[in-house]
Amino acid sequence: MVEWPGTCRHVEGMRRLDQLNFSNSYARLPEPFHTRLQPTPLEGTRLLSFNPAAAELLDLDPLEALRPEFTSWLSGQDPLPGSEPLAALYAGHQFGHYVPQLGDGRAILLGEVQNRRGERWEVQLKGAGVTPYSRRGDGRAVLRSTIREYLCSEAMHGLGIPTTRALCLFGSEEEVGREELETGALLVRLAPSHVRFGSFEVFYYRRQFDHLRRLADYVIAHHYPELRDEANPYLELFRAVTLRTARLIAHWQSVGFAHGVMNTDNMSILGLTLDYGPYAFLDDFEPGLVCNHSDYQGRYAFDRQPDIAHWNLSCLGQALLPLLGEPVEAAAEQANAVLGEYAPAFHAHYQERMQRKLGLRAPRPGDDLLLQDLLQLLAANRVDYSNFFRALGEFDSAPGARNAVLRDLFPDRPAFAHWAADYRSRLAADQGEDAARRAAMARVNPKYVLRNYLAQQAISRAQQGDTSEIERLLRLLQAPFDEHPGDEAYTAPPPDWGRRLAISCSS
């Protein structure tokens, strides 16, 4: 049995929760940007899991998790000293259709903490009760969805992908209605900012351009200060977000991550992975995977994510037009030119990441075709994506080597043999040693990813009162490239029951 209290040891120089350097710069924005309100505590709240790695971002002593005040302050039972709770306003395009008002319907921002390195981290409670933006919702999160976000945000960080972080997870005795009655839960989420594309869209479509400018100035001042002296800082803001988003999506595609609900209100202005709902890591390589069972048209299929990100950026560019200058035709031309930088940036980042996954030392003509042939081969043979690339690191480049372990992953062995011959020739052109290549590939091809069936097993156990699987997965996912002897079972493809789990936006 793994128990999180065992990870809570005093760290010299760390602070108590009520001694953190709390402020709330977003609360300094005027009333239309947010609504001030207190969280609504859940009944019978208890701490289920605590993440010391995220606590370090706040300079928070891990021993604080053992104090009763930790639960009462971070679950909303008592006001946290220094906090200024609020729910933020935003809008967004959901499944391609504009929704004029969304906002934090179940999340409340307590404020931000500046750590010793000068970094600012917002502390947000997700599942903290009804807000003015709940749209007839109950403002709650359920245990299964909270566990999924808690684990996946840390899994993404372990993979080196920009993401929100998860400090801790609370359970409760409160019943929450979804498709059936479930247990209410609360996630404490950290991010440098929770501003999203939809935060700009709401003021653009309301034609509140003064608020639009004020939000852009806030984002530049707090998150892109290097842009303040640019001739057109708002255009450069759009460029910075565009390039960050291109880099983010390239990283998603390289590890086989499907977000599932890429609405513009789920797109971070900082290029972070935001709002984990019906996500999935690929098991069998299925380019058209739709992991959200509410996505009836397949809008957010895995292979459509790069194009959807481009479409979402066009919505952000539209919202920024009033700030880009006059006439509007010239502003639109400038925005479109910046938007045109997305595709080349995405492809450059993606090719670089895939080259490293293949163990290639420098790009050469024909590499695109080698990768394209491989992905088609993986799809045709339904080969496990993560396990294949991890195993590829053991490829023996010697002439005549059979590479039986890899070959046996493919029902069509002759097709693999043909690709393997091309790959062997390509490796020979690099004139590198297998040992160095294997070590390099092991640093970029994870052994452990958060497969949906693994998350479901942790959820099922937690619903029975056993959180040990959460802790075990957290440990593996925070170091996904390591071997972890004895935990090889967590690399297994899903059993039959875990291949087609129905994951919804409320999951």
Q: Could you read off the pLDDT of 183-232 as tens digits, one per residue?
A: 999 999 999 999 999 999 999 999 999 999 999 999 999 999 999 999 99
Residue 14, pLDDT score: 86
pLDDT-based confidence at residue 500 (cuts at 50, 70, 90): confident
- pLDDT recorded at residue 1: 32
Give me the helices (H) in 322-451, please.
328-339, 342-357, 367-381, 385-392, 404-407, 413-430, 434-442
Three-state DSSP class for 182?
strand
Query: pLDDT band at 290, cuts 50/70/90?
Result: very high
The more confident residue out of 11 and 94 is 94
Residues 110/126, Cβ–Cβ less than 8 Å: no
Q: Which of 353, 352, 446, 386 is nearest to 159 (CA)?
A: 446
The mean predicted confidence, pLDDT, of the chain is 95
Question: In this predicted structure, what is the pLDDT of residue 498?
Answer: 87
Cβ–Cβ under 8 Å, residues 65 and 46: no
d(CA 172, CA 153): 22
- Compute the distance between CA of residue 130 and CA of residue 106 in angstroms, rounded to an integer: 6
Cα(104)–Cα(128) distance, rounded to whole angstroms? 10
Q: Which two tokens stand for residue 32?
A: 């239309």
Q: Is the pLDDT of residue 309 over 50?
A: yes
Question: How far is Cα 356 from Cα 367, in angstroms, rounded to an integer?
Answer: 12
Domain locations in the chain? 4-193, 198-351, 361-442, 452-498
Chain centroid offset of residue 170 CA? 20
Helix, strand, coil shares, percent, the chain, to 5: 45, 15, 40
Spatial separation of the C-alpha atoms in residues 415 and 374, rounded to whole Å: 10
What proportion of the chain, given as a percentage, has pLDDT over 90? 90
Task: Provide Rg for the chain, Cα atoms.
Answer: 23
13-27, 153-167, 189-203, 283-297: least confident range: 13-27
Query: When comparing pLDDT for 507 and 284, which is higher?
Result: 284
Say how far apart CA 383 and CA 386 lie, in whole Å. Answer: 9
Question: Which residues are 121's β-sheet partners?
Answer: 113
pTM summary value:
0.96
Q: How far is CA 409 from CA 227, 324, 452, in A?
A: 50, 53, 21
Averaged pLDDT for residues 230-251: 98
For residue 389, list its beta bridge partners. Answer: none
Would you place residue 136 in the very low, low, confident or very high pLDDT band (cuts 50, 70, 90)?
Answer: confident
157, 165 in Cβ contact below 8 A? yes
Q: Which of 10-14, 307-311, 318-322 has the lowest mean pLDDT?
A: 10-14
pLDDT in tens, 22-69: 899 999 999 999 999 999 999 999 999 999 999 999 999 999 999 999
Candidates 61, 104, 265, 384; catalytic one: 265
* pLDDT confidence of residue 107: 97
* pLDDT score of 12 more than 80: no
Query: What band does 506 get if pLDDT is binned at 50, 70 and 90?
Result: low
**What does the pLDDT read at residue 79?**
92
Burial 470-484 (b: 16+ CB within 10 A, else e): bbbbbbbbeebbeeb
b/e map 19-44, b = 16+ CB within 10 Å: ebebbbebbebeeebbbebebbbbee
| Active-site residue, 466 included | no
Q: How many CB atoms lie within 10 A of CB 356?
A: 16
